[in-house]
Amino acid sequence: MADTPIAVVTGAAQGIGLACAEALTEDGYKVILVDIQDGVHEAAAKLGGVGMVCDMGDMDAIGAMFDTIEAEHGPVSALVNNAGIAMPGNFLDYDLSAFDRVMDINLRGVFVAMQRVASTMVANGIEGAIVNMSSVNAQVAIPAIPAYCASKGGVMQLTKVAALALAPKNIRVNAVGPGSIDTEMMAGVNANPEAFKMAMSRTPLGRAGTAREIGDVVAFLCSKKSSYVTGETIYVDGGRLGLNYVMS
């Protein structure tokens, strides 16, 4: 087993995934950044990490990716399942192929990656950590993103299942549920003053979160500082889920 622990972060070419990779690098991990975009190589180079291109909606590709990682770098100590898509659409005529694509990346891919990494952790006696990216939309819903909401609710429950299954092996599994975070996914809202005002009206702290604020929570959950935390979803949402009225 390598002296430097290895962390894999999916969806890491930009935004939250890249921030997670930065935080884990600072914590001493050798980070392997995974994304469907070729830009992941440039992002990894800046961090001194390794970039790999993989479609996290392709279950065979996920297996092949971990084969390569294990052969070239060693077993993984921390996994961050961050890759995800939304694909908005009207509920009444939402395309089933779009629904399936979202579920493949956001939920099936998460399960396959967890299963594979956990099996390797068990085989190597690694007391590792897995962090899945959920969302406030696991608890509250937006009608224009039905598949996304369903997938993130699934991630929340799958996190609990995996935590219970892997606790006897001292492998911890948690999730993070971001609220409104200043990333590419929020770019359209940021560009529209009225939409931004509406989003902030339901965020008590009155601002969008940063990708690094999510990355730091993920790093905490991968560290020994959270050694008695498993099966939890930590919502990093500026107080949004606790709000029962729209702020002025």
Nearest Cα to Cα of residue 82 among 208, 241, 221, 239: 221
What ranges do the domains of the chain cover?
6-242
Which residues fall within 8 angstroms of residue 114, CB to CB, at 6 or more apart? Answer: 79, 81, 130, 132, 158, 162, 173
Question: Where does 6-242 sit in CATH, by number?
Answer: 3.40.50.720
Average pLDDT, the chain: 95
Residue 247 pLDDT: 59
State the catalytic residues.
148
Report, as an integer, the average pLDDT of 7-12: 98
Distance, in Å, from the CA atom of 114 to the CA atom of 235, rounded to the nearest integer, reads 21
Nearest Cα to Cα of residue 66 among 25, 103, 44, 34: 34
Tell me what percent of the residues of the chain surpass a pLDDT of 70: 97
Relative to beta strand 172-178, strand 50-53 is unpaired
The two tokens of residue 93 are 């005529």
How far lies 235's CA from each of 73, 76, 199, 207, 239, in Å?
32, 25, 16, 15, 9
Q: pLDDT tens digit string along 155-186?
A: 999 999 999 999 999 999 999 999 999 987 66
